[in-house]
Chain A
Amino acid sequence: MGRDLFTRTSYEAARVAHKVTKTSHVTREAEQKAHSTGKLNPAVDPAVDMIRRSLMRFEPKDDGTFEVTVGCPIPIESTCDTTGSMGNNVDIAMKNFPDLYELAAEFLPGYDPQFALGIFGDVCDRFVFQRPQFEMTPGAIVNYLKNMVPEHAGGDVPEDPHYGLFAAAYMTSAYANRIGLKGYHFLITDASAHTRFSYDTFVRIFGDKFLERVHENGFENISKESISSLSIGEVVLDLLKRSHAYMIHIGSSWGSSNFWEQIYGAERVVMIPSTEYLPVVEAAIIGLTEGTLDVGDLKGYLKKHIQPVKVVNQLATELEKIDLRAQEALRYKITGDGHQIPKAGDIFRSKTDLWPISDEESLESDPSDDSEASEKLEWV
């Protein structure tokens, strides 16, 4: 899977190669094509290769083993509203992606951030939900963004982002989850949502084989019958098992933010005044969760990237309340069990192994030395 790292230059080169150098209407060609064919491009069609995967990047070695090229993959997914006033969000995502990548990567040292930036419309729209694979190279990211088909119009309330939440919860396979870490999921909207699911809409979005894929992905308890009684709250609870999931509310509608607080909990609903601040806010959530951004430094960090003092103060208040250092705690748990988070250069016997060979060897050595040493330390 290579060892390419994201750079702003390579991203701009990819935009030129994909002929999306303008700042607006970057999806015009895809929209026209979808209009004539009635189909989505496979890069964003949730029905194509339904399970989205976030995997380690390896390079095969001569001895048959595999070397980690970048680091432990961290899946970062967003499900973004593109109805009504949110209709230009793909243009914004295309423009802001270099900021998002650089700011997020700063807080994920040694990791391989992988992005799946999806969008949603309404059930009455042609395309309810679009979801790319987790990608990390500029070419692939530009390709899926330019092939999205945002609805622009519509925007009736409540909306239908919950099919995207379902996919994030049950149709994702991530290495990070297998070793006990979590990825990140951001739902971005300015409105409330329907709370129940329709089997027919699932078939429209994912095709009639979707339940088989969900079962293969480990969720055998979900059936055609159970879907009708499934609620958005249950889905978010399951999503939280695999992701540090946050609802980013654009604007200050009390009604809809209150709706989401009932679903996510108040500490997971982050109100921001404009999509302009998404890269900084998403990166700050990642940093505070990883423990690589100290909450004492949060305001300074926001001031570095955002001018209006009022906005800095508002965002600081919103961000301070999140689950601080939650990923750091998971990392401590992993290291406490005697493992190390895989890093570039580690060797795996097989691509599907959980831990590198070096980790297996260290586990085989006598672990009692460390525990004895720590017992000798006098701690408060």
Chain B
Amino acid sequence: MLIKSKMGEYSVVRPLTLGEWANHYLVTDGEGIARILMVARRPIDNGKVDSTFVALEKLLEKSDELEQIYSETSDKKLHYDWLFPTVLDRFSIASQADRKALVLEYRDADPREFFPLVQVLNQNQRLDFKTSAWVLGRFLKLEDFFELADEKRPLYLPFVQQNILISPENHRMMPLDWSRITRRKTRDQLETNLHKEVSFIEELINAKSFYTLETPKGDFRKYRAYSASLAEADKGYLELLKLCHWLIDGLDVTNDPGGRTRLTFDPEDIHRKFYHGYCCDGRNYEGLDDLYGREFHPFTTLPR
């Protein structure tokens, strides 16, 4: 099927998700480049697509702004713009009840390289520690970016397992269905989301063997096998994930066996502690650096 807008034509390759408010399709544009087409499910969902457009534009604007700030003190790049798609085209499909549509691009990535992470669970397989660590790092970076993008009214994308795409080659992780994005109403929503994200990672590494994943291109790839016996560092990693839950709860005395006092936190703080560990009440808590000897490079976030 060919979908036309004023800017171009998009050939539908295959559906990706049929969501509550929007459907997503893998399409190719006139030059054969793969894109994601997001279409309101029904005309009454047009507002959701418009809100998605506003949110993604705002994220892009903020990402550029933060990149500019960071470039004044660093040669590195923040690459917050790798966490969300950018809108290339926006139009109504006149022949289909004027439903609103967005054409989305993943910066520096081919959407055909991404696959739904939930496939790992569906096939009763496992994710290796290294991959799981960067997926969690990306989650924390995304939540941190939402806080940075609008401190007063942060954006909020409820975590749903089925919505997560990854591309292991270039360490990319991205939610597919952005029509769920809204404004965060309470701090609890952030905490709940973070808990779900860490739990998802725990679930992903608690399976049995190596994993084979199908990309949207339709090919199957085999990723690293995992030894049945846990190395000491890997045992420590599982402890680190537990620690993440405590950090999300702000080390509330009711949740923390150490009975320590409640600490303030934000996603960036957890992100930093996840990689570098931290010291509290005279005790050292190991991060990925300690466990794997700097094998993991933390994702760059704006220093505060």
Interface residues of A (CB under 8 A from B): 265-267, 291, 294-296, 320-321, 323-326, 328-329, 332-333, 336, 377-380
A377 in contact with B96 given A296-B90, A324-B50, A329-B46 (CB within 8 Å) = yes
Across the interface, A380 reaches (CB within 8 A) one of B1, B58, B183, namely: B1
Query: What is the chain B residue whose CB lies nearest that of A269?
Result: B153
User: Hey, which chain A residues are within 8 Å of B299, CB to CB?
Assistant: none
Chain B nearest CB from A207 CB (Å) reads 39
B244 in contact (CB, < 8 A): no
Whether A325 and B47, one on each chain, are in contact in the complex, defined by CB atoms closer than 8 angstroms, is yes
* B3-36 at interface with A (beta carbon < 8 Å): 3, 12, 15, 23, 25
Across the interface, B54 reaches (CB within 8 A) one of A321, A326, A329, A333, namely: A321
Beyond A326-B47, A328-B44, 19 additional contacts (C-beta under 8 Å) are A265-B185, A266-B152, A266-B183, A291-B46, A295-B50, A295-B53, A296-B53, A321-B153, A323-B47, A324-B50, A324-B51, A333-B44, A377-B95, A380-B1, A380-B15, A380-B25, A380-B37, A380-B93, A380-B96
Whether A380 and B90, one on each chain, are in contact in the complex, defined by CB atoms closer than 8 angstroms, is no
User: Hey, which chain A residues are within 8 Å of B95, CB to CB?
Assistant: 377
A328 in contact with B1 given A266-B185, A296-B53 (CB within 8 Å) = no
B42 in contact (CB, < 8 A): yes
Query: What is the chain A residue whose CB lies nearest that of B27?
Result: A380
A295 in contact with B54 given A321-B183, A332-B44, A333-B44 (CB within 8 Å) = yes
Complex Cα spacing A227 to B40, Å: 42
Whether B44 and A329, one on each chain, are in contact in the complex, defined by CB atoms closer than 8 angstroms, is yes
User: Hey, which chain A residues are within 8 Å of B43, CB to CB?
Assistant: 328-329, 332
Complex Cα spacing A75 to B36, Å: 41
Complex Cα spacing A324 to B1, Å: 29
Query: What is the chain A residue whose CB lies nearest that of B10?
Result: A380
User: Hey, which chain B residues are within 8 Å of A379, CB to CB?
Assistant: 96
Whether B1 and A378, one on each chain, are in contact in the complex, defined by CB atoms closer than 8 angstroms, is yes
Whether B42 and A332, one on each chain, are in contact in the complex, defined by CB atoms closer than 8 angstroms, is yes
Query: What is the chain B residue whose CB lies nearest that of A377?
Result: B96
B39 in contact (CB, < 8 A): yes
A380 in contact with B185 given A296-B53, A328-B47 (CB within 8 Å) = no
Chain B nearest CB from A161 CB (Å) reads 23
Complex Cα spacing A265 to B183, Å: 9
Across the interface, B39 reaches (CB within 8 A) one of A321, A377, A380, namely: A380
Chain A nearest CB from B155 CB (Å) reads 10
User: Hey, which chain B residues are within 8 Å of A296, CB to CB?
Assistant: 53, 90
Complex Cα spacing A332 to B43, Å: 7
Complex Cα spacing A380 to B25, Å: 8
Chain A nearest CB from B133 CB (Å) reads 34
Complex Cα spacing A320 to B61, Å: 14
Whether B1 and A266, one on each chain, are in contact in the complex, defined by CB atoms closer than 8 angstroms, is no
Complex Cα spacing A328 to B50, Å: 12
Query: What is the chain A residue whose CB lies nearest that of B24?
Result: A380
Query: What is the chain A residue whose CB lies nearest that of B61?
Result: A317
Across the interface, A325 reaches (CB within 8 A) one of B50, B90, B93, B185, namely: B50
Query: What is the chain A residue whose CB lies nearest that of B57?
Result: A320
Query: What is the chain A residue whose CB lies nearest that of B12?
Result: A380
Complex Cα spacing A377 to B15, Å: 17
User: Hey, which chain A residues are within 8 Å of B54, CB to CB?
Assistant: 295, 320-321, 324
User: Hey, which chain A residues are within 8 Å of B39, CB to CB?
Assistant: 380
Q: Which of B37, B58, B95, B153 has the most CB atoms of chain A within a 10 A radius of its CB?
A: B153
Chain A nearest CB from B231 CB (Å) reads 47
- Interface digits, B85-129 against A, CB 8 Å rule (1 contact, 0 not)? 000001001011000000000000000000000000000000000
Complex Cα spacing A236 to B85, Å: 36
Chain B nearest CB from A232 CB (Å) reads 18
User: Hey, which chain B residues are within 8 Å of A326, CB to CB?
Assistant: 47
User: Hey, which chain A residues are within 8 Å of B1, CB to CB?
Assistant: 378, 380
A325 in contact with B46 given A265-B185, A266-B185, A380-B12 (CB within 8 Å) = yes
User: Hey, which chain B residues are within 8 Å of A294, CB to CB?
Assistant: 50
Complex Cα spacing A303 to B88, Å: 24
User: Hey, which chain A residues are within 8 Å of B58, CB to CB?
Assistant: 320
Query: What is the chain A residue whose CB lies nearest that of B95?
Result: A377
